[in-house]
Structure 1
Amino acid sequence: MKKSSIFGLVVIAIAIAVIISVYSTSSTYGSFKDAKSTDTELHVVGHLNKQKQLYYDATKDANYFSFYMKDNKGEECKVIFTGSKPQDFERSEQIVLTGQMQGNEFHAKHILMKCPSKYKQDQVEVTEVKAKQANI
């Protein structure tokens, strides 16, 4: 075989290996029920259960934060995050967790929050100011 043919085959083999490794390490979206039945890392989308208490005590352990979340299918689960509590966590509209189940608790590695839009409030304030100026 020619050197160029061997080089081409090696490049193709490396490209296939990279594609396989990227797809094998990517996690998928699911629910808490899906997380209970698998060992792989999942993204779980849901919202904070505000009726149950959040636990975060920075004086005892600044890297322990727990709360209860309901996924989009309505199943509730205790979530443990080994990190500090995100700012304005209680105001979040939607939460995306990345992690896996350990027993009856979901251990999150990452938390992504969708917070209420501050621009909606700004639009209301601007409208109120314009209405007041029109009355003057």
Structure 2
Amino acid sequence: MKRSSILGLVVIAIAIAVIISTYSSSSTYGNFSDAKKTTSELHVVGHLDKGKELYYDATKDANYFSFFVKDNRGQECKVVFTGTKPQDFEKSEQIVLTGQMIGTEFHASTILMKCPSKYTQDKLEVTEAKAKTADI
């Protein structure tokens, strides 16, 4: 075979490997029932249960925040976030949690909030121990 043919096959093989690794590492969306069945990270979309208590005590542990979320199927679960409580968390319309189930609790590594706004739809993304904001 010619060197150019071999080089072309190597480039195609690398491209296929990159595509496969991209799709296999991407997490999927689900609900709390799906999260109980898997050990990988999962995105869960839901709404804050405002009838239940939010727990955050910065004097005891500034990196522990727990609350209850109802997913889109109506199943409620306690969520533990190892980071600071996001600003205006109670005002969020919708929450996207990334994490996994540990026992009966969903341990979130990332919280993405859809905040109400009169003119634009703002989203805030909060990751462990730091806060980022992104306008979308």
Helix, strand or coil at the partner of 1:87: coil
Which structure's residues are more often helix, by fraction?
1
Q: How many corresponding residue pairs? A: 120
1:21-100 aligned at under 5 Å gives the runs 21-100=21-100
Helix, strand or coil at the partner of 1:9: helix
**What whole-Å deviation, never above 9, does each CA across 1:11-52 have from its counterpart, x for those lacking one?**
111111111111111111100001001112111000001111
Over aligned residues, Cα RMSD in angstroms?
Answer: 1.1
Q: Give the whole-Å Cα distance in 2 for the aligned partners of 1:20 and 1:62.
A: 39
- Corresponding letter in the other structure for 2:15: A
- Corresponding letter in the other structure for 1:8: G
Q: TM-score, normalised by structure 1?
A: 0.85
Shift of 1:63: 1.1
Q: Give the whole-Å Cα distance in 1 for the aligned partners of 2:6 and 2:80.
A: 51
> Counterpart of 1:5?
5
**What whole-Å deviation, never above 9, does each CA across 1:42-85 have from its counterpart, x for those lacking one?**
11000001111111111211111110000000000000111111
Q: Give the whole-Å Cα distance in 2 for the aligned partners of 1:106 and 1:48.
A: 14
Which structure's residues are more often strand, by fraction?
2
Q: TM-score, normalised by structure 2?
A: 0.85
Name the % identity.
80
